[in-house]
């Protein structure tokens, strides 16, 4: 199924498109609309199909009911009379477009990929001057899907989770529409509990030849409860091997990723290693199995030591009382990231993709 929407004031939509006005609030009967219209306005500038009018969705989210799967999404965004600036996130607040800017009379035509689960595509608009003229949602079976299995340092934030951010949430913005990121990472999971809950089985239902499975666990494998704990010398690599075998059974490519470091420094300003033998276990398994390794632990160590104890507060989830509405009492979290941190760690993962010559991903990087 394909879906085409023409945004702006009431009038005749472009042929093949459905008209969406600033007053079109979502309801399940029609299957599309803005989640909240209170911050959406509209303008008509000129009498031109698609580009002549638009909606202005300040901090608004557009919803469209679609079948689960991969989609190529194309937007037209601009204004005949004024500059525009748009940042766009999709389901789970995954960043896909960052500060796309146009001058008066210019129109950005941008394409990106979205992996939809749960039967609904969500587009969240931000930016200094957001515009949306047209939206095309086209089903696609040809894209590479990059699956992520991991914990809270990887996962997507919830809609009300700002400023918390996993690095997997930021990864889509680095790829063209040829690669769809399917982030199955979930907070609190270990390599063991992820499998026990059927999450690897869910990935296997969609995983196909040519896809990738990126695997980063370790934070919760260290926990002592039976449901999550694994031993770095035995059960931890045994569970990781299950992910490798799952990917290979579908002719997909497994990629092991060492755990990103926590924010703990010694008196000399050197980062403390809180993962210990779990890191070496991943490196050893990658060598034994001939699996691509992105050593995110080493990459994040270098980054965090460069930033230092104070600088890393802008990467991790640190904030003073009143700084963030969702964390009004303040927060000092040395494990999880804010959006800036999620983006920096995603950059390190992309660096690892390049270093390991994963060509079918490299060729589709922006």
Q: For the ranges 116-130, 153-167, 180-194, 297-311, which has the lowest average pLDDT? A: 153-167
Q: Which residue has the higher pLDDT, 127 or 159?
A: 127
pLDDT in tens, 45-87: 998 889 999 999 999 999 999 999 999 999 999 999 999 999 9
Angle between helices 277-289 and 235-249 (to 10 degrees): 40
Check whether 160 has a pLDDT greater than 80.
no
- Taking domain 144-362, whether its CATH number is 3.40.50.1110 is answered by yes
Average pLDDT over residues 157-186: 91
Share of the chain above pLDDT 90, in %: 88
Average pLDDT over residues 100-115: 95
Average pLDDT over residues 317-333: 87
255 vs 137, 149, 193, 361, 365, CA distance in Å? 30, 10, 19, 12, 17
* Residue 10 pLDDT grade (very low, low, confident, very high; cuts 50, 70, 90): confident
Phi, psi of 137 (to 5 degrees): -120, 110
For 276, the token pair is 């210990």
Check whether 36 has a pLDDT greater than 90.
yes
271 vs 232, 264, 267, 275, 305, CA distance in Å? 21, 6, 10, 12, 6
Asked if 2-139 and 144-362 have one fold, the answer is no
The CB density around residue 59, as the number of other CB atoms within 10 Å, is: 13
Domain spans in the chain, listed from the N-terminal domain onward = 2-139, 144-362
- Taking domain 2-139, whether its CATH number is 3.30.565.10 is answered by no
- What's the gap between Cα 195 and its chain centre? 21
Check whether 157 has a pLDDT greater than 90.
no
* Residue 92 pLDDT grade (very low, low, confident, very high; cuts 50, 70, 90): low
What is the rounded average pLDDT for all residues in the chain? 95
pLDDT in tens, 299-317: 999 999 999 999 999 999 9
pLDDT in tens, 176-211: 999 999 999 999 999 999 999 999 999 999 999 999
Residue 325: the pLDDT is: 79
Residue 249: the pLDDT is: 97
Backbone torsion region of residue 311, taken as left when φ is above 0, otherwise alpha when ψ lies between -120 and 50, otherwise beta:
alpha
CB 193 within 8 A of CB 200: no
Q: Which residues touch 201 (CB under 8 Å, ≥6 apart)?
A: none
pLDDT in tens, 238-285: 999 999 999 999 999 999 999 999 999 999 999 999 999 999 999 999
* Residue 142 pLDDT grade (very low, low, confident, very high; cuts 50, 70, 90): confident
DSSP line for 178-233: TEEEEE---TT--HHHHHHTTHHHHHHHH--TT-EEEEE--TTTTS-STTT---TT
């Amino acid at each position: 199924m394909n879906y085409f929407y023409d945004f702006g004031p009431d009038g005749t939509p472009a042929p093949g498109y459905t008209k969406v006005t600033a007053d079109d609030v979502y309801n399940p009967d029609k299957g599309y609309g803005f989640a909240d219209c209170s911050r959406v306005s509209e303008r008509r500038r000129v009498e031109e199909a698609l580009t002549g009018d638009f909606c202005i969705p300040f901090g608004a989210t557009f919803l469209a009911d679609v079948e689960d799967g991969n989609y190529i999404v194309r937007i037209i965004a601009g204004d005949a009379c004024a500059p525009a600036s748009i940042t766009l996130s999709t389901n789970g607040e995954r960043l896909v477009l960052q500060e796309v800017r146009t001058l008066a009379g210019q129109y950005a035509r941008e394409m990106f990929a979205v992996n939809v689960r749960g039967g609904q595509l969500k587009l969240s608009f931000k930016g200094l001057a957001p515009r949306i003229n047209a939206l095309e949602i086209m089903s696609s079976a040809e894209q590479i899907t990059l699956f992520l299995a991991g914990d809270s340092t990887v996962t997507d934030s919830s809609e009300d989770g700002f400023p918390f951010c996993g690095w997997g949430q930021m990864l889509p913005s680095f790829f063209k529409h040829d690669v769809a990121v399917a982030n199955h990472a979930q907070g609190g999971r270990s390599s063991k509990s992820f499998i026990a809950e059927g999450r690897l089985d869910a990935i296997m239902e969609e995983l196909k030849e040519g896809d990738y499975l990126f695997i980063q666990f370790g934070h919760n494998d260290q926990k002592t409860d039976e449901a999550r704990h694994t031993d770095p010398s035995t059960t931890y690599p045994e569970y990781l091997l299950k992910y490798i075998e799952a990917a290979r059974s579908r002719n997909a490519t497994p990629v092991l990723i060492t755990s990103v470091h926590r924010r703990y420094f010694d008196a000399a300003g050197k980062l403390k290693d809180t993962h210990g033998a779990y890191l070496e276990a991943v490196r050893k398994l990658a060598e034994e199995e001939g699996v691509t390794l992105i050593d995110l632990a080493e990459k994040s160590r270098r980054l965090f030591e460069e930033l230092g104890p104070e600088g890393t507060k802008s990467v991790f989830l640190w904030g003073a009382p009143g700084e963030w509405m969702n964390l009004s009492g303040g927060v000092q979290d040395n494990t999880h990231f804010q959006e800036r941190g999620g983006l920096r760690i995603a950059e390190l993962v992309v660096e690892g993709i390049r270093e390991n010559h994963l060509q079918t991903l490299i060729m589709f990087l922006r």
